[in-house]
Structures are given as C-alpha cells and as structure tokens.
Structure 1
Amino acid sequence: MDTISWNDFTKVELRVGRIIAAEVFAEARNPSYKLQVDFGPELGVRKSSAQITALYTPAQLLGRLVVAVVNFPPKQIGPIMSECLVTGFHNADGQVTLCMPEHDVPLGTRLL
C-alpha cells in the first residue's frame, strides 16, 4: 500500500449529501442508478451514477445521507454528466454498500 501525505489527503473533498432523487439508469452498461445528491447551500445538488442496484432500490435510497467526493472533474457517463462520486465498499459478494454517516450531520459537512 502506498502512503500519502496529510496534504494529499486534504485535497480530497469528501462531503455529506442527502439523496433526493434516484432512478434506474437504463442506458448504463452495468446496472446502475442515476442519483441527485443535495450537499446543502454551498455546493447545491449534484448528479451521480452509482452501481448499487444489488443492495438498494431507488425508494430505499431517498433521504439517505451519503459520503461523496465532490472535487473530481465532471465525467460523462452515457447521457449524464456525473458531478460527484458516491462512496461505498464491496462486501464479500462484490456488491457495493454505501458509506453513510450513522447520525444526521449538516449537508455539505466535510470529512476530516
């Protein structure tokens, strides 16, 4: 494993957002959802694509807090422009489980 400096880590903007919309991303190559995530007044709502269909339905995602990288450059994924990267971990079966705060925190709060 490569080590990084504290300055490297502080360059990554990991922020808390709330999923306000989730729908099947029919055009995606791999089963995915199109998400809209609200990061509060400073950052606003951002779009993302997430391959999390194995463990979540769109209805289960609404209102959930998630941790996302918000300072990657936008990336074209099929017909949508992804504006953040929602984070998660692969379980033993290779399915993605979201990285979520256990308790409410203000939208846009940065992980440090």
Structure 2
Amino acid sequence: MILILVLWSIIFILVSVMLTLSIIINKKMMIDREKSSPFECGFDPQNSSRMPFSMRFFIITLIFLIFDVEIALLLPMNILSINFTVGVSIILFVIILLVGVLYEWKEGALSWIK
C-alpha cells in the first residue's frame, strides 16, 4: 500500500514539474490572440459574423468541391468492369468537367490577379 502511495506521489510530482516547465518555456504570448484562436483565417471570432468575404475564396471552394465530388464519382466507375457503356460514361463525364474548367478559366475565376 505504501509502495502504491509513493509511486502515485512520484507520478504527481513529475507531472506537476512537466506542466510547470511547459508553461514557463512556452513561446506563445498571451497577447497574440490571432495565433491562439482556433481559426487562423484572419477573422476575429468575437466580432460580428456578417463581415465581407472575398468571393474569390468562395469560388475556389466551390471549384474544389466540384472536383472532389468528381473524384468520388469517377473512382467507382473505374473499379467496375470496364465495358463500352462505362467507358463512354467516363469519357462524357470527363468532357463535361473539362468544359466546366475551361469556362471557369475563361471567366477568370482561377486567376488571382485581375
């Protein structure tokens, strides 16, 4: 019983020393609210959520989601046995996506400099 008590006290002392050392040698400043916030996107979470947002970020997000869904739809098609119908549907799907990318490129949604 005494051995268990001694072991627990040693563990408690070690944990306390490690926590104290980590607080002392921590490089983060309490003043730096932006780095300590969970979202490092440049918005202050305490302010209003109705701040203006750049449409370029929104469009890039939509383009990413479209091509993410494209991968999710193309992978099962490739796993199936490749026959004429599956091959034509894959080619048609890729052509539609290629036309969409070319349209976005022509409209300037993919360029950051205007």
Pairwise TM-score range, normalised by the shorter structure = under 0.3
Under a length normalisation based on structure 1, what TM-score does the superposition of the two structures give? 0.20
Higher relative helix content:
2
Bigger Rg, structure 1 or 2? 2
Under a length normalisation based on structure 2, what TM-score does the superposition of the two structures give? 0.20
Name the structure, 1 or 2, with higher relative contact order (CA <8 Å, separation 6+). Answer: 1
Higher relative strand content:
1
